[in-house]
Amino acid sequence: MTELELKYGCNPNQKPARIYMENGELPIQVLNGKPGYINFMDALNSWQLVKALRKATGLPAAASFKHVSPAGAALGTPLTETQQKIYFANGLDISPIACAYIKARGCDRLSSYGDWAALSDVCDAPTARFLALEVSDGVIAPGYTDEALEILKTKRKGGYNVVQIDPAYEPAPIERRNIYGITFEQGYNAFEIHEGLLENIVTENKELPDAAKKDLLLALLTLKYTQSNSVCYVKDGQTIGVGAGQQSRIHCTRLAGNKADTWMLRQHPKVLALPFRPGIRRPNRDNAIDVYISDEYEDVLADGAWQEIFTCRPEPLQPEEKKAWIATLSGVSVGSDAFFPFGDNVERARKSGVQYIAQPGGSIRDDAVIEACNKYGIVMAFTGMRLFHH
C-alpha cells in the first residue's frame, strides 16, 4: 500500500487528507479502526521515541502521546506496590512492556486521557488488557499477539485504532513538509543519544550513578520527540513531568516541575487512602485526585460535590503537608532540549528533587548556571547538542 486516505486533516474542514509514500510501500498496517491525521502524527512520532529508547537502554519502552508530544514515557522496569495502586494496576497480570506503558501513562494521567500509546515491543495480552481499561485513541507497536489483538478489537465498540509498524523501516535521509504552500527540506534528525553525551560534567560534583545516566538518556530521548521548547523530569526509569511547547525555558521548567510535584503528591498517604465510592470510573477518579491535590479542593467541598465521588468527606491536604511531602522527592534527573539561559531554571528544578541535569550548554551565562548547580551539589553535564523538535 503506497497511500491511505484519511477522513480529514487536523480539522474536519481540511479535506482531502491522506498519508502516502513517494517511493515504496507504507511501513504500517491498520489492523483495526480508522486512524486520522493527528492519530498518525502521534503514532509516528511516538514510535520513533520508543524505538530509540529500546536501542539506547536495551529495555522495553512505551510512550503516551497527546498532540504530537509525550504526556509520558517509561522503561519496562517493575512497578512498586505504590505505583500499582496510583496507576490503577493493582491485581493485574503485568509484563515488562505492560509496566512500561503503565508508567508512561502514570506520569501525567490527566493529560494522557485519550492518548495514543506506543510500544517498542510486541503488544501482549497484559498490555492489551490494561489499554482496554483506559480512555485511549489508539496504539502502535511492531506486532500483536493473537490474544492481544482480540482484546483490543473489543475496545471502543470495535473501533479502537490498532497500527502495526515494520520495525526494520528506516526513513529517507531527507525529509520535507509544506507550510503555507512552501516546501521546507532538511536532513532527518538521525542524531544518536548515548551515554557518551554525559561525559562532559561541568560542575564540582561529578558523581553520576548508572541509574541517573539511564534516566538522563530517557529525558533526552523524550525531548528529541517533544514539541519545543521542552524540559523533562525523570525518576527511576519514567518521566514524571514534561513541559512542552512553551515560549520560555523557565516556563517549561516550571510546568514540568509542577507535574513532577503532582506525580509525587499522588503517592501521599492521604491520597492513597481516599474513600472512593465503588464503581467510580478511572477518569473520574483521576480528576478527583487532581482536584484534591490542587488549591481548589476547599471550594469543591463547599459545593458538596465530593458526595458524588467519595463515601465520606476526605480531610484536606494542607499546604504545609504538600510542601513537606514534595521535599522528600530526591534523585530526580532533568533534561533540557536547549541551554538554560539563567540559573532560575536550576533554582526551580531543585525544588522538585533534581540532582542531575543534562543540557546542551552554550549560553553566555553558563557560568551562572553552573554556579547555581554547585550551590546545591547538583551534577550537570553539557551534551553540546540541541534537540529542538517542531
Tens of pLDDT, residues 316-326 = 999 999 999 99
Report pLDDT digits (tens) over 152-207: 999 999 999 999 999 999 999 999 999 999 999 999 999 999 999 999 999 999 99
Report pLDDT digits (tens) over 50-107: 999 999 999 999 999 999 999 999 999 999 999 999 999 998 999 999 999 999 999 9
More confident: 24 or 161: 161
Q: CA-to-CA distance for 119 and 129, rounded, in angstroms?
A: 14
- The catalytic position among 32, 45, 161, 229 is 229
CB atoms within 10 A of CB 367: 11
> 67 catalytic, yes or no?
yes
**225 plus 332 within the same structural domain:** yes
Report pLDDT digits (tens) over 25-41: 999 999 999 999 999 99
Domain that holds residue 181: 174-265+326-382
- Give me the pLDDT at residue 198, please: 97
Share of the chain above pLDDT 90, in %: 92
**What mean pLDDT do residues 12-28 have?**
93
Residue 23's pLDDT band (boundaries 50, 70, 90)?
confident
> 284 catalytic, yes or no?
no
pTM of the full structure:
0.95
The answer to whether residue 1 scores a pLDDT higher than 70 is: no
Beta-ladder partners of 200? none
Closest Cα partner for 43 from 148, 170, 165?
Answer: 165
Rounded to the nearest integer, the mean pLDDT of the chain is: 95
Residue 299's pLDDT band (boundaries 50, 70, 90)?
confident
- The catalytic position among 13, 23, 157, 390 is 390
Q: CA-to-CA distance for 51 and 72, rounded, in angstroms?
A: 15
- The catalytic position among 66, 235, 322, 389 is 66
- 49 lies in some domain: yes
Q: What is the three-class DSSP state of 238? A: strand
**65 plus 195 within the same structural domain:** no
- 321 lies in some domain: no
- 59 lies in some domain: yes
**141 plus 214 within the same structural domain:** no
Domains of the chain: total: 3
**180 plus 43 within the same structural domain:** no
- 69 lies in some domain: yes
- 389 lies in some domain: no
> 390 catalytic, yes or no?
yes
- The catalytic position among 55, 67, 251, 351 is 67
Q: Distance between alpha carbon 115 and the CA centroid of its chain, in Å?
A: 10
The answer to whether residue 300 scores a pLDDT higher than 90 is: no
**224 plus 260 within the same structural domain:** yes
**75 plus 127 within the same structural domain:** yes
> 389 catalytic, yes or no?
no
